[in-house]
Amino acid sequence: MTTIEDKISLFSKIIYDKVNEEKKEKLDILNSEIEKKLDVEEERIKDLRRNLKIEVTKKSNIKANGIIAKERLNKQREILFLKDKLIYDTLENVREKLVQFARLPEYKLYFLSTLKEALMEIDKGNYYIVVLKSDNEKFHNEIEVVLNEYHNTKFEIVISDVDFIGGVVVKDFEGKFKIDNSIESKLQGSKDLIGVRVMEMLA
């Protein structure tokens, strides 16, 4: 015979099992929702990481490119400084050799040939023959002989106040015409050629 206690126990078990089953269903649903939320969050975190990595890479590349550009600029500046120094040093070395040449006996022939070359380019008129004091003292007689060959042309010898190493400068009295056959002028004219050679050397 079934007692009240047995029935209560049975009802309790049925209710307990039902509650347990409902609880399990709810837990399963909750777990499923949590899993979905976790998956969404995980994807969001992955996206954030990807975006962060892209941003960091981009910033790193910008910074790296800035450093490279700065280094290239510094290198170009160093090359330009070196080029200017090499050109200057080369010109100074050549100038020193030309100064030494102007003291040699062979310089007399060069001086007179530059004078004749300049005079071949002029028309009849009035001209200054600009020379260095030392050249006038050494070659005055020879200069006069060359100038006397040009009739109907008036020449006045002028001592230069600028040391142009050697050679001559011919100018007309009006200051409209000038032939610069000085050694300094020829040296400066070769500056571009020296610059090209220096750049070839640095390439």
Residue type, 36: K
Clarify whether residues 80 and 148 are in a common domain.
no
* Sheet of strand 178-182, all strands in order from the earlier edge strand to the far edge: 154-159, 126-131, 167-172, 178-182
- DSSP strand E in 126-166: where? 126-131, 154-159
pLDDT at 110: 97
Asked if residue 181 and residue 90 are part of one domain, the reply reads: no
- Mean model confidence pLDDT for the chain: 86
Q: Same structural domain for residues 124 and 53?
A: no
pLDDT of residue 8: 63
User: What is the pTM for the complete model shown?
Assistant: 0.63
Predicted confidence at residue 125, as pLDDT, reads 92
Supply the CATH number for residue 126's domain.
3.30.2320.30
Q: Give the pLDDT confidence of 147-182 residue by residue, as tens digits.
A: 999 988 999 999 999 999 999 999 999 989 999 999
**44 is in which domain, residue-wise?**
1-101
Query: How many domains are contained in the chain?
Result: 2
Looking at the structure, tell me whether residues 157 and 124 fall in a common domain: yes
User: Residues in the chain with pLDDT < 70?
Assistant: 1-13, 16, 19-20, 27, 203
Residue 3 maps to a domain: yes
